[in-house]
Structure 1
């Protein structure tokens, strides 16, 4: 029986998190570059109407199990598309949800595969077993960092390695350095407080303005709480609601300091010097692969920032090429697997 869709995209889409929306936009673009038309692409989203309007693709509510099952019956493949979907740092609900969707895909005759994933970390054996079962069912498997590849290998599962899909996005020309420190903080206990203080001190020491970028509603709430307490009293706080705003909001950046993974994808694409605060293994792995210095609180930000550098045009070009080639190969394998 001929199916209506070639791929159903499943990720943390429709929640207002800029990083995940970057992944979704990039995957749709990659699918089109690989020969798929938009009417052959479907997305599971928490905000299906908004997803349809922004990307001109079909979308269903990810929380309605019957709608999801119906959609999967109409699709040849299910793509677990990018991000840290299988981890239990936030809760057990995330791995359970994606395991449930993959099980539904089996019922629906829809072949599951994975691209651009970071796997873990896990604090519970139950979460790890669930994730292992998810990836066991997915073919092909493409992860975006070496620790994830090693973990899958430990589970007896092969996986290819490729840059995060968001690297293929055209966010604009490289930013000219100015007198603004860009700060991104996500909720993460005392680490968030410490880096806010360090960034403030660094900006004041050099006479730089401090612009705080929130990539999610949680980021924005935290930054406003910090400002209310006096910690970021003089800082500008801006919510980055779309990656397309990045060029204007990074304007004048002399240094970018942050925590979220896709904050650094943006800094790399815009050619901005950066320092990473690695709250998660995926951020530390990205920093290592791009020679981004990391701050862990053991010394002053001033010392770490001295080693910050701009990425070369060749590095960005190579990352984009690898991401494209890897996706095209994975899509072909997934469709042929049907």
Structure 2
């Protein structure tokens, strides 16, 4: 059986690449994956799978014609906050696959926000046509229940991704605190200055080595470099393309201050204390689910001292997730594998 896998792949986004690797890790061996990618050669080299350019109509049509299954491969593909083009593209591929008679799977999705009536209708229609649907949070499930769709609900698959140790990381001075910030309209230049000053004050108070971890170079690296240029103490900018190594960064790290959803999931799963800076409802959902502190960026305190004091208090007195809770989340994340296994039975 051949499965076409569609997602935000080949763009150098660590979280989406981790979702792809998690999917490939869970995919039954009887199913051969063909990944639609913005960088087919790189995706092939990195994962050893067949690939197809994700914006080339004729190769995509030919790939669908010779396949049995179509999978949305995890993440927030169906949301219209970033643009209308994205949900229309992913829904269009799903609808095309359904028209051609493929089994279609919406796998490990975070549905929404969907503010536009058209994208809500479009998402509703293609999900109704799916063979199976799984979501990664209860808010997505609540939306789908209003559409009389009952998805499998399980934690994000990246909880179950096997981490790989990163060479040289243990040689950096302890204690270590990881930081992930990404470009976003809510992270204004003024808020970045406030956060940078808070990091300076926090580092002076704790003598920590700050690991600046870009998850997508095009959006995160410039910010990491800006912060690095201001820090008074030890730091290292860590850029990694292997999702397992990216997750492995958080082994032995005391605390993570993160914007990106998967920076927080990876950190929490490696027994690291997490403090969130939310720019998106999906981050708030995670904060509620695993009870981690943080601020919405639009409500960030304007006084760096308030921020650094909160970080310091949590650094000293906060607790990571219990091992039993992490194991439970990891075990339940493997529930997303169940709908993949059913493909070879049915």
TM-score computed with the length of structure 2 as normaliser: 0.85
Shift, 1:123, TM fit: 3.5
Greater shift after overlay, 250-259 or 54-63? 250-259
- The match for 1:330 is 339
- The match for 2:157 is 165
Cα displacement string for residues 233-281 of structure 1 (whole angstroms, at most 9, x for unaligned residues): 7653332322233366446522110011111121022211111112111
2:179 and 2:213 in contact (8 A); partners too: yes
- Does residue 224 of the first structure (1) align with residue 216 of the second (2)? no
Q: Following the alignment from structure 2 to structure 1, what is the Cα–Cα distance between the partners of residues 86 and 281?
A: 18
Cα displacement string for residues 146-177 of structure 1 (whole angstroms, at most 9, x for unaligned residues): 11111112233221211111222111479999
- The match for 2:319 is 309
- The match for 1:99 is 91
Using a 3 Å threshold, how does the CA distance of structure 1 residues 138 and 198 change in structure 2: closer, same or farther? Answer: farther
Q: Following the alignment from structure 1 to structure 2, what is the Cα–Cα distance between the partners of residues 45 and 250?
A: 27
Return the match for 2:111 from 119, 124, 131: 119
For the residue of structure 1 that corresponds to 2:77, the secondary structure is: strand
Q: Following the alignment from structure 2 to structure 1, what is the Cα–Cα distance between the partners of residues 281 and 90?
A: 21
Alignment: residue pair count:
326
Shift, 1:190, TM fit: 4.6
Shift, 1:10, TM fit: 1.0
1:99 and 1:131 in contact (8 A); partners too: yes
Using a 3 Å threshold, how does the CA distance of structure 1 residues 314 and 271 change in structure 2: closer, same or farther? Answer: same
Q: Following the alignment from structure 2 to structure 1, what is the Cα–Cα distance between the partners of residues 140 and 51?
A: 29
Q: Following the alignment from structure 1 to structure 2, what is the Cα–Cα distance between the partners of residues 168 and 132?
A: 29
- Does residue 110 of the first structure (1) align with residue 112 of the second (2)? no
2:163 and 2:248 in contact (8 A); partners too: no
1:172 and 1:270 in contact (8 A); partners too: no
Greater shift after overlay, 194-203 or 69-78? 194-203
2:165 and 2:248 in contact (8 A); partners too: no
For the residue of structure 2 that corresponds to 1:150, the secondary structure is: helix
Greater shift after overlay, 300-309 or 272-281? 300-309
Q: Following the alignment from structure 1 to structure 2, what is the Cα–Cα distance between the partners of residues 120 and 233?
A: 40
- The match for 1:42 is 34
Q: Following the alignment from structure 1 to structure 2, what is the Cα–Cα distance between the partners of residues 51 and 42?
A: 10
Q: Following the alignment from structure 2 to structure 1, what is the Cα–Cα distance between the partners of residues 323 and 225?
A: 36
- The match for 2:18 is 22
For the residue of structure 2 that corresponds to 1:288, the secondary structure is: helix
2:73 and 2:106 in contact (8 A); partners too: yes
- The match for 1:53 is 45
Cα displacement string for residues 75-100 of structure 1 (whole angstroms, at most 9, x for unaligned residues): 21111111111112221111011011
Q: C-alpha root-mean-square deviation of aligned residues, in Å?
A: 2.6
For the residue of structure 2 that corresponds to 1:102, the secondary structure is: helix
Q: Following the alignment from structure 1 to structure 2, what is the Cα–Cα distance between the partners of residues 279 and 94?
A: 19
Q: Following the alignment from structure 1 to structure 2, what is the Cα–Cα distance between the partners of residues 286 and 278?
A: 10
List runs of 5+ in structure 2 lacking aligned partners.
none
Using a 3 Å threshold, how does the CA distance of structure 1 residues 257 and 42 change in structure 2: closer, same or farther? Answer: same
- The match for 2:307 is 300
